[in-house]
Chains A and B, each alone.
Chain A
């Protein structure tokens, strides 16, 4: 134990000795601390740069070795005073963009921060038009800069939200640059699962920079942004697919895998349809929370409005509420929502209805599900037959525009039927199916007539060719006869 105290004492004495020596060597710090007594010099003593032997003069210019103020702060010695605007970040970049210099200080930090900042959303010109909106010191402070890993750093996970919201929660400030951008992100964040845990001192849940990046922040409409619709699932999955990282939170880590296979995921990630829902469409972004049983249908209903309305008015609503079943998710799943097919309806093993509607336990529901499936199958069979006939007529070169129009109607009825199923009302369902059946019947009749017409034309051509050939032969024989007669007369 004594040995431990001795070692600790030695280390503390060494640090104190070197600090005093550094202060003594740097006349700027010495003077500003002892004579002027200003805050920046006080803060600088705790600054990581000061600890690495970087002097005030490295940013402010001048000669830190000179004791006389006039000599130390002489413009001839390169004294610049307090840098303003972009000169601040350029001062930082002199070292932080120079890999060799950074290596000398034993740093492993990247050296592209200044470049990234300039191309980021914060790199746009400020209202003065003379400088970028944000400088390094906007987030990292000026004189008391500590490592980002230090809990004292303004960009440490527990502090970063406060740092960002300094500007982003200020209506006055944000109005100057982007009046349409909300200013309640911080407030929402505090209500999110991420924010609540962060508020309790857990640095692991996502903070602003986890999703938006740090120096290279881009607007969400920028395709290079980590929060651009197509990139967002990947951004969330950085943490949420990392089983090790998520271990302590005891939630699944296969959401991305499932989502990527889902109808939404395929639309967004493969077809790049930015209108397709992403993680934030259901969970929210700054206020991200898992939707509860009650709100699942509301979330889905923001896009699938008609389906949600029909469901809410259906007999299933009460049944689901009584059993505390999530509405849409029960039949369609959540992250791995595959494209709904007609097979979902009915009483077969693939159908979802039969999960609850067993023949012996719920005969009425079973009968309705069975009848609905029969109607679906009838429409499918009739539609396929109509398409085959129309294609056949078209391949035969017949004009079948009207039939094709009706096929569109049939397709529309099929889509309507898929929506109407959410009313779980056999009568309404039949009405829609009947419309589709009527359209397919019309198309089939038109196409069949066209095919019959095709054969009629060929038969007609055969008969007319026969008649014309006969006529030609008769004419030929007649010509020969009269010419023979004329020759005899001569």
Chain B
């Protein structure tokens, strides 16, 4: 280290006792094994969250959340604000990558059975954050107030409305009335920039705290390896630097996407126009949307769509509760059944997303 930097470090260390923190971090070790690659997806998701917060705040400086001005303000950001196009495209692309990396992170945790005791709460907070992320995607999609977003939101909220008993009130609450209007836009904007980030930050804090407290989960086969043969690496600086290397690559990918595939704005929503053909939700909702399309209108005494929504709701709940019913993994025993379920779910999501995309 150069003398000037050393002096600066010593000055800060004197005041904040950085050395203690470094020692603490250096004591933390990350297991090294054939599946270590999956550890990085948690970190990259965190990095993408930070990008979302920064770009979101920058967009807030120009975005106007009203029916009359939302579209025009995005248009202004894209064409007149210095680097506005970059910020908006980054925000949109990052949102999608964020959900993708979080899903990979979640499935890697699932297949590694990292949710098993004592990490049930870490899994729960992670799952809740994933649901919130989907909420971020849904609420943010309408904000440009363009044609596709308008009708997709209409369809999306209608699906919520089919849930028995609570569906209708939820639909009206989300829309701020019977139909998708400027009131819906204001409402979803509020959720997108205030309610969801608030809850998400609390959950993220808890999630990171749990990870720090408990350390990285070790795979079952790793625990069976003799202690001498177990490899580890210090969290600081090794793992953190590798994490940063991954972040740099992701940032570069994002920049390429933003420049070569700028996020389109489309045409302004016209509530009185007829819905354009082929309205589809964002890719992360596509497998559910496509499934609902295949379900017959009536199954026995129950409405097909209602049944579909209830089944997805129940499946999501069971998935979230996996640490509590997969006792075998918690006892440190192998549970192939969980792997089969996970494999089925992954295949199902991929297949129905592709079908939905091509439809």
Contact = CB atoms under 8 A, between A and B. Distances in A.
A356 to B, nearest CB: 50
B214 interface: no
Contacts of B85: 399, 457
B19 interface: no
A465 B262 contact: no
Contacts, number: 51
B323 to A, nearest CB: 34
B251 A468 contact: yes
Contacts of A479: 238, 241-242, 245
Interface stretch (B54-62, B154-162, B252-260): B252-260
Interface in A430-474: 450, 457-458, 460-461, 464-465, 468-469, 471-472
B237 A482 contact: yes
Contacts of A66: none
A192 to B, nearest CB: 48
Contact of B79 (A401, A464, A468, A475): A401
B75 interface: yes
A476 interface: yes
Nearest to A469: B252
Nearest to B261: A397
A105 interface: no
Q: Size band of the A side of the interface?
A: 20 to 34
B244 A464 contact: no
Nearest to A397: B262
Tell which of A399, A458, A461, A483 has the most Cβ of chain B within 10 Å: A399
A402 interface: yes
A478 B245 CA distance: 11
B47 to A, nearest CB: 13
Interface of B: 75, 78-79, 85-86, 233-234, 237-238, 241-242, 244-245, 248-249, 251-252, 255-256, 259, 262, 265
Interface string A384-415: 00000000000001011110000000000000
A399 B86 CA distance: 12
Given A399-B85, A478-B241, A472 B255 contact: no
Given A399-B85, A458-B259, A465-B256, A472 B79 contact: no
B244 A475 contact: yes
B241 A399 contact: no
Given A460-B259, A468-B255, A483-B233, 8 more contacts: A399-B265, A400-B79, A457-B259, A465-B256, A475-B245, A475-B248, A479-B238, A486-B234
25 contacts: A397-B262, A399-B78, A399-B85, A401-B75, A401-B79, A450-B79, A457-B85, A457-B86, A460-B259, A464-B252, A465-B256, A468-B248, A468-B252, A472-B245, A472-B248, A472-B249, A475-B241, A475-B245, A476-B245, A479-B242, A479-B245, A482-B237, A482-B238, A482-B241, A483-B233
Residue of B238, B245, B256 most packed against chain A (CB within 10 A) = B245
Interface majority SS (helix, strand, loop, mixed), chain A = helix
Nearest to B86: A457
Contacts of B256: 461, 465
Contacts of B265: 399
Contacts of B233: 483
B170 to A, nearest CB: 36
Given A399-B78, A465-B256, A483 B238 contact: yes
A464 B233 CA distance: 31
Given A471-B248, A472-B249, A461 B259 contact: yes
Contacts of A401: 75, 79
A402 B241 contact: no
Nearest to A482: B237
Contacts of A458: 259
Given A399-B85, A472-B249, A475-B244, A465 B78 contact: no
Interface in A223-279: none
B73 to A, nearest CB: 13
